[in-house]
Structure 1
Amino acid sequence: MYLQPPFDNESSTCPFCQENTISHGIVQQIENYFDETYSCSIDQINHFLSRYSLALEQIASLDSYKSIPFSIESLPKLTEFHGKLTKNLEANARSIEAKKNSPSTSISLIDTRNDFASFNEFLKGINEKISKHNEKLDNVGAELDKLKQKFWGLMRWEYDQTISALEAQVIRSNQRIVKSNEREKIASDIITSKKSKIALLQKSTVNIDDAINNINEGLVQIGISDFSIAKHNDSLYKIVRLANSTAEFSSLSEGEKMIISFLYFCELCKGKRSAEEVTGKKVAVIDDPISSLSHIFVFNIGRLIKSEFFDSEDFEQVFVFTHSLYFFYELADSNHIKRKESQKLFRLLKNNMGSQILKMSYEEVQNDYHSYWSVVADAAQPPALIANCMRNIVEYFFNFVQKQDLNNVTRRPELQGSRHQAFCRYINRESHSLGQNIFDYKEFDYGSFREGLKLIFEVTGYIEHHEKMIAVLGK
């Protein structure tokens, strides 16, 4: 029986005589009567109980194991091991609790070592599956290659007969191609020999024949065959259009004039202006040679500049100016190492403050849409250019990207205030690609136009796009 100590100086009831005779002194005498063995035994029981309680707490619930995909297929076995282990641990905990309440009672605990070993071995198998899966994720490229090899191996086996027949046909076709190439080479050598003889004969006549030949060959390489040039006298050329030997230079289109002028420029750079001129290193400046040209000639002009100027040792420096992004990418060396060694990139900027030449990296080159945002963000740009770029931004985004009518966009009630009327009037103008239809400069206010542009994106639900473009390209 457990003896309850009294509170403070009071006496408590004796469990035997039911009188208030139990004082602190009597309790102390009774406790002194017993030795420390009893207390040690109680402490040991409490220690065992704490260990079992901790073990029970550390074992995850069955639901937590069920949430792991790799344990689903082994769920019955997992439930069995988990249930047996927790059941035995709980039974031992109850036995220890009973021993604590009745120290004199003898108890026997269930040996759970095998239960733990079996459960841990089972979990080890699941963990191995997880580890293998993680290894595959860490080497996803190699695993995909294995799948591809298996797939194409299967395909190869299924279509072996078709593939074998195709391979045999390819071999026969390649043999015929080799023979055709041999015949073509023989014919080409004959043509080259004849051309060499013609060129030698022409060199013996006048000095400008080489230039005429080179210009005409350049026209053919570019893809122009309906006109050529011929010698007019010892120092002049003339245009020959098909059978018409009296065609004039004015009969050519702007693009044709640009091409033949550029070819003449190439020949002029290779030669001398006079017989007395001393040969030396040259500097060539080429200003937008593809203006007025169809896009189909951009590649040819780019190849010609590379072969005649970039790859030539006769030129110390070559400056090329262009507005065309396509032409820029055609001339810029795609190999960043070679580009760094032989090319330098610059951006020429013009605004109300003057002109600037700034160094530029290859990665800074933007498309037209990004360039519009850069202009809009620069308050020093001419008002007509800023307003026109705003018009291009709004039309591109809403007409082409979001498929919205531009007129409906600017009719939103939020844009009808007097502050944004000038902005809306310009955005709604029919012609937007030319600056000459810009309103009176007194009507342009940079702040209100910037607010109007932002408001359009805000009321249409695309304010994040506006903020992103300003953050990346603007100010």
Structure 2
Amino acid sequence: MIKSIKMVDCTPYHQIEINECKKINFVFGANGSGKSTISSFLSGRQDQRFASSSVEWDGVLHESIYVYNRAFRNENFQQTIPGVFTMGSATIEDIKALEELKKQLSDVQGDWEKNTSSYKKIVDEDIPNCETRFKEKAWNDILKANENDFQKAFEGYRGSKDKFLGEIKKRIAGIPDHEGVVCQRSQLIERARTLYAEKSVRCNRLVVDIQQLLSVIEAIRTDSIWNTVIVGNEDIDIAALIKELRNSHWVDQGRTYIRLGSKKCPFCQKETIDDDFRNKLEAFFDTEYNKKINQMKEHLTNFRVSSEKILSSIASVVLDEESVSVGKLDIDMYNAKQELLNSLFEDCEKRIEEKIAEPSKKINIFNVSDKIAELQKLLDDANKIIDDHNTLVDKRDTEEEKLKDDIWASVIDQSKILINSYEKELSDLNKAASGIKKMLDIKKANIDKLKAEVSEKGKNITSVQPAIDEINKSLKAYGFTNFTIQPAKDKENHYCIERDDGTMATNTLSEGEETFLSFLYFMQQSKGSTDPNHVADKKIIVLDDPISSLDSTILYIVGAMVKELSKNIRDGIGDVTQLFVLTHNVFFHKEASFIDGQTKKVKDVNYWMIRKDNGISVITSYGMDNPISTSYELLWKELRDNDNLTMISIQNTMRRIIENYYGMLGNKKNEYLENYFSEPEERMIARSLVAWINDGSHSIPDDLYIDSYTDAVPKYKEVFREMFYKSGHKAHYNMMMGIEDTAEIEQV
């Protein structure tokens, strides 16, 4: 069934919506208010003005819509009319068999519709909701949580959640062009800082060129002289004493204080030095001894120079602050190791000095290579970072893309729980949808099979003749005896309209005859179809002013037919599932819509009313409350509730009220009402209002609203009120206008 109808930007509607449509729907509105616009739209006509209008269906299966309106009458009043195929007088067994097939088809279609609803819920709601939840979660937990550190990696996606979700899906799918490596966050941040900096440049490596100096230090350290006992010539007789006293260094220093030509000993200050002793001392400290002493002194000098250069080089390398910063050199650790190395060098110098002072002493010189290696290790680690930095700078474009891929891979890896949960939920939903889809395909095949069987069965037991018989029977019953419907002689399964003498009556029928005949023809279509393959199809019927030119007798007949159709729809009898009745005629509305002559609510029936003001129509829903009880009450309701009545509309409304009320009382003289007014203007207004009482017109009121406006409206309302007040019918006026007046009780 149709759930709602939305009319947008199509004259005379700006935007209206007929919501919560039921099985039976009555829409009341004056001529020109826009009823035919609705019926034209529902007929499916291709018209650009309906481009923004739409129908919302309550369910997956969409019934065929049959529309009766002026266009239907024009299209079907030709020389020949397509025949309507119906069951007619088929045997009970044939009809029962067909009905059983139709029931099977209905049951399968019902199951198919339920499964389709489940499928559509998964596809249209559950899966999109799953995607939306993941999109929101990913937006907050992945992008927002990382964009401060990796802003540039998310460029192009930070302004659109949908684009970001699309990129996430591509990355999750592992598209080859975007394969990244999961890295530690700190590394990614550092790479990002280098690559995304406004002016990132190459940095110098932290290099200490001390290898040659270390070779000198190592050669000095490994010289065997440090483990050699250095003494004078042992062939001299004083050698034994010097060796035993182990004071050759002391003696050597003392002899430098012996003055030339002096015999005084520099130690005891006695004249014990003669030329013979002097010669023995010189002979003890021979050339070899002095050579070794000088060698050690030279080593000491070279050691000092080399160690100072090493320390200077080590200290100067860290003056490059940019490289130290980029390489993340631990400057505190570096300085500490540098201080330790300096202490070791000082200790080595001290030991060498001691050896020179006491040549007979053996010493060990520390090996500083381990400490140098520790310092070099710090520099090597920093240089590796610097090299990586320089590589990034040298290959910015390539490295930026690689960094981007690594960032995405890493943040996705960090969100594995979220992503796995989403993928599992999505997989489960897709599996469920796939399972239901397979079931739907099987049931759809079964539906097509049953439809074919119904169609084939219907072909064998349907014909156009029963519809001819039904229409002719109705025409005769209602007094249309000067023409009949007959099978067309030159066109199979078509009708033609013939006079009794056999001539065609198509162009000689009155408007009322055409309208009634076309309505009977249309009602036969509600029982069948002009296509024998669609006799059993479910239908929605739209009736747009079916009695606009009919007399009062036919009005009640058509009303009764519509009422019977409504009852069958509510009871589930026949193939019509929903009815829309659009009319401007209050009497027809009353006859067609009132249930058992009463105005009680029916759950399957809803009511609407269309009103037009300043060229724009609006629609008001009354739910299950019928807004029209009688034509007389409707006239008062228009006067009471509609503040936008125009001059012409208010005149017509007031005249009809006066005609109905005072006509019923038997007061038909103008003077009866006019004489209550003494002012000429008021008498003129009163005369215009009572004019219809004497014109002999008692036709069904058609037009209730005509667009116009004038400032005289308040004066007309005042005269109208006074007409009732002055004629003694104040209580009736107050009652109909909803004015409380308990002082008077109307006696009518």
Taking structure 2 as the reference length, the TM-score comes to 0.32
Taking structure 1 as the reference length, the TM-score comes to 0.48
Structure with the bigger percentage of helix: 1
Tell me which structure has the larger Cα radius of gyration.
Answer: 2
Point out which structure has higher relative CO (alpha carbons under 8 A, 6+ apart): 2
